[in-house]
């Protein structure tokens, strides 16, 4: 029998970096899932469904693996702030977040394809933003690529100067809650 593989169902460089910290060899296979909320779907229902569907799409391609998938959203008063369409949309999101507290949710799903066992969980981090002037937002958008980040910001970059406080797991805001991920890999026998 061949050795069980770990496959990350993501093209996110941040998720690859975080998963690499756990010291488990893995490969990546990207999924092609439409990330569109359904009518009446809550923020938590959406993020959980996205993580599950991304994993299922990749599991069909890798029969001898454990598939790890995740999805991250920024939620402000229950409204999903996904990846901005463009810099103008990022500006709109950052104005909404200015001077407010919001939640970052990352749903994690694992599928052991051979055993057909699954684990699903949710990381939650509360994030506070300072008040941001329009000039500050414009400067940030010029400094960093914002359209590939939920809510239009990345905590690991310059946006960290806007964030005086978080409650919860820092890596969760980057896109992969490591304590939850490690626990799931342990349950599948990939770490001891």
Q: Which positions are catalytic?
A: 71
User: Among 166, 185, 176, which Cα is nearest to 71's?
Assistant: 176
User: Among 13, 12, 5, 62, which Cα is nearest to 35's?
Assistant: 12
Are the C-beta atoms of residues 136 and 80 closer than 8 Å to each other?
A: no
User: Among 122, 129, 140, which Cα is nearest to 166's?
Assistant: 129
Q: How many residues does the chain have?
A: 192
Query: Tokens representing 105?
Result: 């949710």
């Amino acid at each position: 029998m061949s050795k069980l593989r770990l496959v990350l169902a993501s093209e996110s460089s941040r998720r690859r970096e975080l998963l690499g910290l756990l010291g488990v060899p893995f490969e990546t296979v990207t999924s092609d899932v439409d990330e569109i909320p359904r009518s009446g779907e809550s923020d938590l229902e959406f993020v959980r469904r996205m993580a599950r569907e991304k994993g299922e799409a990749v599991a069909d391609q890798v029969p001898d693996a454990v598939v790890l998938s995740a999805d991250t959203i920024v939620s402000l008063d229950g409204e999903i702030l996904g990846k901005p369409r463009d810099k103008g949309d990022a500006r709109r999101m950052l104005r909404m977040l200015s001077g407010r507290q919001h939640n970052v949710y990352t749903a994690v799903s694992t599928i052991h394809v051979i055993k057909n066992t699954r684990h699903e969980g949710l990381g939650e981090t509360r994030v506070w933003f300072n008040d941001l002037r329009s000039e500050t937002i414009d400067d940030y958008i010029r400094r960093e690529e914002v359209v590939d980040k939920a809510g239009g910001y990345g905590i690991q970059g310059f946006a960290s100067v806007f964030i005086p406080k978080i409650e919860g797991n820092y890596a969760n805001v980057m896109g992969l809650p490591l304590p939850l991920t490690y626990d799931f890999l342990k349950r599948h026998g990939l770490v001891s």
